Amino acid sequence: MSRAGPVTALSRLPASLKARRPSLSDPVQYVAGVGPRRAAALKKLGIQTISDLLEHAPFRHERHFRSTIELLEPGQTATIVGRIEAVRVRNAWAGRRRGRGGGPSLTATVIDNTGRCSLQWFNAPYVTRQVRMGAILRVTGRVSEFGGLPQFVNPAIEPLDDDAEPIDPSKPPSLEPVYPATAEIPSAAISRIIRRALPLVLDQIEEWHTPAYRGARELLPRARAFQLLHVPDRETDVASARRRLAYDELLLLQLAVLGHRRAARSHASAPSLTLTPQIEKRIRQRLPFDLTKGQEEAVREISADMARPVPMMRLLQGDVGSGKTLVAIFAALVAIANRAQVAIMAPTELLAEQLFRNADRYLAGSRVRRTILTGSTSRRDRAATLERIASGELDFVVGTQALIERDLSFSRLGLVIVDEQHRFGVRQRTLIRCKGTAPHYLVMSATPIPRTLAMTVFGDLDVTTLFDKPAGRSPIRTRVVPPLKVDELWSFVRARVASGEQAYVICPLVAESDQSRLRAATAEFERLRSGPLVGVSIGLVHGRLKSDARQRIMSDFAAGRIAVLVGTTVVEVGIDVPAATIMVIQHAERYGLAQLHQLRGRVGRGQRPGYCFLMTDRASGAEHERLSILTRVSDGFRIADEDLRLRGPGEVLGARQHGLPEFRFTDLAADGEVLRLARRDAVHILRADPDLSASEHDALRRALAQRFKDRLAMGATA
C-alpha cells in the first residue's frame, strides 16, 4: 500500500503554498495529482477543499487480494503488477458493430514472473494513453476467464516506475475504499488523491471531545477515524470510523435543531388557547362519533401545548385512516373558540378540497366562518377573501401554497396546521409560520415516518403518534401480479364489480410519453373500456383535470355511478368509498413501499374485505422480493422502516423534500442507536451550556457555525 510522503505530495503546490503545509481549507487543486482539470471533476462531486476531500466517504470497501498471475482465481477481486507485452486497439466502428458502444476497445496482454493474463476495456479512450508496450502497471479488478487465460474486464490501473517491486502474495489482502465517482475521475484516482493529502493535514483535524467523553461513548479520536475510514486494515476499523464520524454529524444536527427549537420558544410568545370544560363540551357535541383512545391522548397533548404561552411545535402522525384529521379539527375548534384564526395548508388542491369538505361537514350549522383559498380561486374572489382574512372576518382558512403569498395577512392567527409537511420545501414551511406573530404549529403526516427519520427531519417538533387501527376496517389482501397472471386479474375485477363492488386502477403517468413505456392513465382508460372491462362504467381522474371536473368524477365514483376509477396517485388523498374494495397498481415497482401502503388504504373501508394487486413487469428478483413485503406486513410503521432501509431517506420523504440534510457518514436505516445517543447528548449539552460558550465546547461551536453557516438544518429558514 503506497503512502505518498509530504515532499511528494507538496511537489505540485504553487510557490505561495510551498512555504507552508497545506490546510484543510485550501483548494483541492493543490494536492498532488489533481490540477485544474481534476479539480473541476471533483467539484461536480461537491469536493472543493481538502476538508471536502477527506469528508468524501467511501460507500463500501472491497477486499483485494495481492496476487501473482498464476494464483488468480475467477470471481475474486485481485491486484497484480506486470508488464504490458501486447496491445490491440479496435476502432469505434468495430465497437459499435459488436454492441459495445461508440468508443474504441482495447485488449492487452500483461505478464509477470509467473504467467500471463489479458486485460479488456470497452469504450475507454482514456486507457489508450496509459496502456502501451513495455509499460508496468498495477492492475486491480474482478477476475474472470477467457480463452484459457485469466482476464480483467475494465480494471482500474496505475502506471508504475520501471523499478516497481513485484507483488508479494504472502501479504494479507488489502481493504480498498470504493468512492462515489464519475467517468471523469474514477474511484481509484480519488483514493490516490486522498492518500496523498491525508498525512499532510491529519494533525489539523480538530478534536471535539475530551478523552473521558469519548471513552464513555466508545468513540475513536476524530483524526484517527478519518485515517481508518480511508486507509483501514480491518473491517472493524471501518465500522469504528464510521460510527465516530456519524456520531459527530448527528450531534451537530441535533444541536442545530434543538438550538432552533429553544430560540423559537424563548424569543416568542404565543396566544394561550385554553380548552375549558364548556368549550370541550361544545366541540364534542359536533363530533360524529366518540374519539378513540389514541385520539383522546393526542387531543390531551395538543390542548396542553396550545394552552401554554409559547408556540406549540408538534408532529401528529399515524397510519392510513387512524383519524388525524378529526384531531386536527378538534385543535382548530379550540383555537377558534378562543377567538383565534386557524390556517390549514395542504400540498395539493385535491387534498385542500378534501380537508375543507371534512371540516365543512363537522362545522355544519356552526358560527365558524370558513373558506378555501387555492390557485384556482378567481382573482375577484381571492381579493375579497384576502380582505376578509386580514380584517378578521374569517376564522378558518384551508388552502394550498396560496396561503404563503406576500399579499395575504391574518388579523389574529393562532394556529397553523400543515398537512403532509414533508411534501413542502423549507421556505414554504417557514413562510406559513411567519403569517402570525408566533402561532402554534401542528404538522400532520399520513405517511408513517421511521423514528430515526422523524428525529432528523422533524427534530425540533414534539411527536404524537396515533397507533390505533381504524375501527370497522376489513383486512386488505395484497398480491404481486406478474405478467402471466394479468388476464386472471381482470377477470377477478369484472366478477367483483358485477357483484356491486368498485375498483381503483392506478397508473404512474397521466399521458403517454415517447420516452417511457410506463402505462399512462389516459391510454389505460381507453384500453380497459374497449378491452378487458368493456361494458363496465369507467372514469378517469388525474391532477391535470380542473377542480370542478375532478370533483364531479370523484362524486360519481362515490355515488356508485362509476364502477372503476382509472387515475394517477391523486386518489391517494381521495374520498372514502365504502364499496371500493379493489386497488390495482400498475408498475408497482416504481413506487416506494410507504406510498403503496397509502394507496391500498383507499380500499376495504366498508364491511367487505379489500384487495390490492401490485402489477409488475418483473416476475422475479429484488423488486419482486421488495413488493412481497406488502403481502406479509400491514403495519405502516414497519413498512416505513423497510422503505428507509431499501430506498434511503430522500426517497421515503419524496422528491419535494428540501429540508433533508446531506449526510456524509450517516446511514439512518442502520444508525438508530448512534442517533439516539447524539440526541441525548445534545439535550444535555444545551441544558448545561445553551450558547456553547464554555471553553470545552469551542470546537463544537466552530464546527456548528461552519456546518450550518447561520442557516437551520431543518424546517425554519430558507
Q: Residue 377: its pLDDT value, please? A: 84
Of 145-149, 154-158, 164-168, 674-678, minimum mean pLDDT range: 164-168
| Rounded Cα distance, 480 and 298, in Å | 36
Q: How far are the Cα atoms of 124, 327, 343 from residue 365, in angstroms, in the given order?
A: 74, 20, 20
Q: Residue 604: its pLDDT value, please? A: 84
The pLDDT mean for the chain works out to: 83
| Mean pLDDT of all residues in 131-140 | 90
Is the pLDDT assigned to residue 1 strictly greater than 50? no
Is the pLDDT assigned to residue 657 strictly greater than 50? no
| Mean pLDDT of all residues in 649-653 | 58
Q: What are phi and psi of 518, to 5 degrees?
A: -65, 145
| Mean pLDDT of all residues in 269-276 | 92
| Mean pLDDT of all residues in 273-279 | 95
Q: pLDDT tens digit string along 83-99?
A: 999 999 887 544 444 44
Q: Residue 455: its pLDDT value, please? A: 75
Is the pLDDT assigned to residue 100 strictly greater than 70? no
Relative orientation angle of helices 324-337 and 277-286, to the nearest 10 degrees? 140
| Rounded Cα distance, 348 and 570, in Å | 9
| Rounded Cα distance, 384 and 76, in Å | 73
Q: Residue 15: its pLDDT value, please? A: 52
Q: pLDDT tens digit string along 542-592?
A: 877 787 788 788 889 988 999 999 988 776 655 678 899 999 999 998 888
**SS3 for 466?**
strand
Domains of the chain: 1-59+179-204 (1.10.150), 60-175 (2.40.50.140), 277-466 (3.40.50.300), 476-633 (3.40.50.300)
| Rounded Cα distance, 686 and 708, in Å | 17
Selected residue with higher pLDDT from 561 and 448: 561
pTM over 0.85: no
Q: Residue 92: its pLDDT value, please? A: 54
- E strand residue ranges, 67-173: 77-90, 105-111, 116-121, 136-146, 149-153, 156-160
Of 224-228, 512-516, 600-604, minimum mean pLDDT range: 512-516
Nearest to 682 by CA among 384, 133, 253, 97: 253
Q: Residue 635: its pLDDT value, please? A: 82
Looking at residue 609, what DSSP letter applies?
Answer: P
Percentage, residues of the chain above pLDDT 70: 85
Looking at residue 30, what DSSP letter applies?
Answer: G
- 60-66 and 77-90 as β-strands: parallel, antiparallel, unpaired? parallel
Partners of 315 in the β-ladder: 443, 463
| Mean pLDDT of all residues in 236-251 | 95
Q: Residue 717: its pLDDT value, please? A: 32
| Rounded Cα distance, 324 and 391, in Å | 30
Is the pLDDT assigned to residue 402 strictly greater than 60? yes
Q: Residue 33: its pLDDT value, please? A: 80
Cell readout for 710 is 447561520
Within a 10 A sphere around the Cβ of 655, how many other Cβ atoms?
8
**SS3 for 146?**
strand
Is the pLDDT assigned to residue 686 strictly greater than 80? yes
Q: pLDDT tens digit string along 322-365?
A: 888 889 999 999 999 999 999 998 877 777 887 888 888 888 88
Selected residue with higher pLDDT from 369 and 660: 369
| Mean pLDDT of all residues in 11-18 | 50
Length of the chain: 718
Is the pLDDT assigned to residue 647 strictly greater than 90? no
- 313-318 and 462-466 as β-strands: parallel, antiparallel, unpaired? parallel
Cell readout for 643 is 422503505
Is the pLDDT assigned to residue 470 strictly greater than 90? no
Selected residue with higher pLDDT from 559 and 240: 240
Top-confidence range, 210-214, 283-287, 552-556, 713-717: 210-214
